């Protein structure tokens, strides 16, 4: 018996990792934005309502342009809040579980230590507010919903900090990297592996089970952007690292204000699922090796 997942998103980091890692016992139907326009709730409801046999619905799609969202709040909310709301209502109507991906950016960064799922959110910008609205809509509309907050996703696919650092190192004589923002770098592949490993359990979990609700899913360990950049080049250019300069967030003014502390506590994941994702440095090694293999076969 296979696990059947209806997935919104086909080309993003998590979406691609889900498709790459799905084994013979998993069948994923990935819907691209061309197939289902996430700004049309009716289309979303129809896609879920008319889908064939389904065990789980995963929303791996989002509006992720954090700074651009300040100028496009309506679009950010349409994709990040109202689309998940439509998914949740449609899932509830069919009795299906919904897995929603959220972000550490629902927090202000004012807390001294790692954020718990029970800490009050206070987003600093439109993007964070739109993702928070999506969290609330999903949890309010679907009684079998798991909202996973993630942080600083990186992979061999798409646009992310790892890819940006490698690209800038080819053209910039000195890389100025922010050193006062801290979070938990997380491999999209490890997030996908977690979802796939728990798929059968989540498909069977009833309403009210402890699996549902908010969950922080990040790799072990916290780092600054500068720390992560150092790790990237220690692995990719050990004999010829680029010149780097640590700078404060204020050195790069952006439309959306960034939280300085976005470290997420994963105690609930360990308690409920008896799992802890591996250290982010180990995950980075695998992604760097994957990038190297891609270059060799290109």
The three-state DSSP-derived secondary structure of 28-87 is: EEEECCCCCCCCCHHHHHHHHHCCCCCCEEEECCCCCCCCHHHCCHHHHHHHHHHHHHHH
Phi, psi of 254 (to 5 degrees): -130, 155
Catalytic residue among 63, 77, 115, 127: 127
Q: Say what the pLDDT of residue 297 is.
A: 73
- Domain 3-158+185-220+262-279 adopts which CATH fold? Rossmann fold (3.40.50)
**Could you read off the pLDDT of 123-132 as tens digits, one per residue?**
999 999 999 9
Query: Confidence band (pLDDT; 50, 70, 90) for 7?
Result: very high
Do you know the residue count of the chain?
298
CA distance 77 to 38: 11
Q: What is the pTM of this model?
A: 0.96
CA distance 201 to 223: 32
pLDDT at 192 over 70: yes
Q: Which residue has the higher pLDDT, 52 or 158?
A: 52
Residues 32-49 have a mean pLDDT of 97
| Mean pLDDT taken over the chain | 96
Q: Say what the pLDDT of residue 158 is.
A: 84
Residues 255-263 have a mean pLDDT of 97
Q: How far is CA 22 from the centre of its chain?
A: 18
DSSP character for 210? T
Check if 127 is active-site. Answer: yes
pLDDT at 170 over 80: yes
Query: Confidence band (pLDDT; 50, 70, 90) for 188?
Result: very high
**Could you read off the pLDDT of 44-86 as tens digits, one per residue?**
999 999 999 999 999 999 999 999 999 999 999 999 999 999 9
Q: Say what the pLDDT of residue 298 is.
A: 58
Q: Say what the pLDDT of residue 1 is.
A: 60
């Amino acid at each position: 018996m296979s696990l059947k997942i209806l997935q919104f998103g086909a080309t993003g980091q998590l979406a691609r990792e889900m498709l790459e890692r799905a084994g013979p016992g998993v069948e994923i139907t990935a819907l691209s934005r061309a197939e289902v326009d996430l700004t049309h709730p009716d289309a979303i409801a129809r896609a879920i309502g008319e889908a064939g046999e389904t065990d789980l619905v995963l929303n791996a799609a989002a509006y992720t342009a954090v700074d651009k969202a300040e100028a496009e709040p309506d679009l950010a909310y349409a994709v990040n809040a109202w689309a998940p709301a439509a998914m949740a209502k449609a899932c509830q109507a069919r009795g299906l579980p919904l897995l929603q991906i959220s972000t550490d950016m629902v927090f202000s960064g004012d807390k001294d230590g790692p954020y718990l799922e029970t800490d009050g959110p206070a987003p600093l910008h439109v993007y964070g507010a739109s993702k928070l609205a999506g969290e609330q809509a999903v949890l309010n509309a679907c009684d079998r919903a798991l909202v996973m907050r993630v942080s600083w996703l990186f992979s061999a696919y798409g646009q992310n900090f790892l890819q940006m650092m490698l690209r800038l190192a080819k053209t910039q004589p000195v890389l100025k990297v922010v050193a006062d923002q801290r979070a938990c770098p997380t491999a999209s592949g490890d997030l996908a592996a977690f979802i796939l490993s728990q798929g059968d359990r989540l498909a069977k979990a009833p309403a009210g089970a402890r699996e549902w609700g908010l969950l922080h899913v990040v790799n072990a360990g916290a780092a600054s952007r500068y720390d992560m950049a150092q790790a990237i080049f220690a692995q990719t250019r050990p004999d010829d690292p680029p010149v780097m300069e640590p700078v404060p967030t204020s050195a790069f003014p952006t439309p959306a204000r960034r939280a300085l502390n976005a470290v997420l506590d994963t105690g609930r994941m360990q308690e409920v699922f008896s799992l802890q994702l591996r250290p982010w440095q180990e995950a980075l090694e695998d992604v760097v090796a994957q990038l190297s293999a891609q270059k060799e076969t290109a």
